[in-house]
Amino acid sequence: MAMSLKDLIQNILTEHHVLLRRELPRLELLLGEITSEFGAQNQKLCEAFETFKKVKSKIEIHLGDEEQFLFPACLKLENIEVGSQSIDEVTAGPNLLERLVEMESEHENSGKAFEAILAVVKSIAADEDRADGICHQFVAGLASVIADLKVHVQKENEQVHPRARQLLSQL
């Protein structure tokens, strides 16, 4: 049996958003240390660190958008009665359908960026005799985030967003 939209959103918030908020700052610190140690000899690593910081910032904004706009709008849609004033509350502000498309693009771009960063750090961990446990901690941590992000994105793109589109089409 499929989860209710409310339960699905709660699962995303407590399982996936919490993980990202915990792990991304930790990984940024680790990658900063790796860049301090190996960045002088490796421009790709410096670029990867800058990309990581940008993606982390975009994800933090994206999570806020979901928590402050998308998820509350979806829950209101699910509980709306056609012809009620609540419809105006949901349809006011940013266009929900357009925002869903933007969020799906953001999902795809974040995953690709993290995969590229992971490849750079893996190459350092494999090539540098001096690469210590910190590289391996980062690689394991980012690989875990990427795996979780795939499940997270699947839940949103294949379950939450289609339900939101379906509910909007019924207005």
Average pLDDT over residues 115-136: 82
Q: Are 84 and 136 in contact (CB under 8 A)?
A: no
Half-sphere exposure of 119 (CA within 13 A, CB side): 8
> Residue 110: is its pLDDT beyond 90?
yes
pLDDT computed for residue 131 by the predictor: 58
> Residue 82: is its pLDDT beyond 60?
no
pLDDT, tens only, 161-171? 999 888 888 77
pLDDT computed for residue 49 by the predictor: 97
> Residue 98: is its pLDDT beyond 90?
no
pLDDT, tens only, 140-153? 999 999 999 999 99
Within the chain, residue ranges assigned H as helices are 5-11, 18-38, 43-65, 71-79, 86-91, 96-127, 133-155, 161-169
CA distance 168 to 97: 8
> Residue 85: is its pLDDT beyond 80?
no
pLDDT, tens only, 4-52? 899 999 999 999 999 999 999 999 999 999 999 888 888 999 999 999 9
Mean pLDDT of the residues in the chain: 88
Q: Domains of the chain: which residue ranges?
A: 5-169
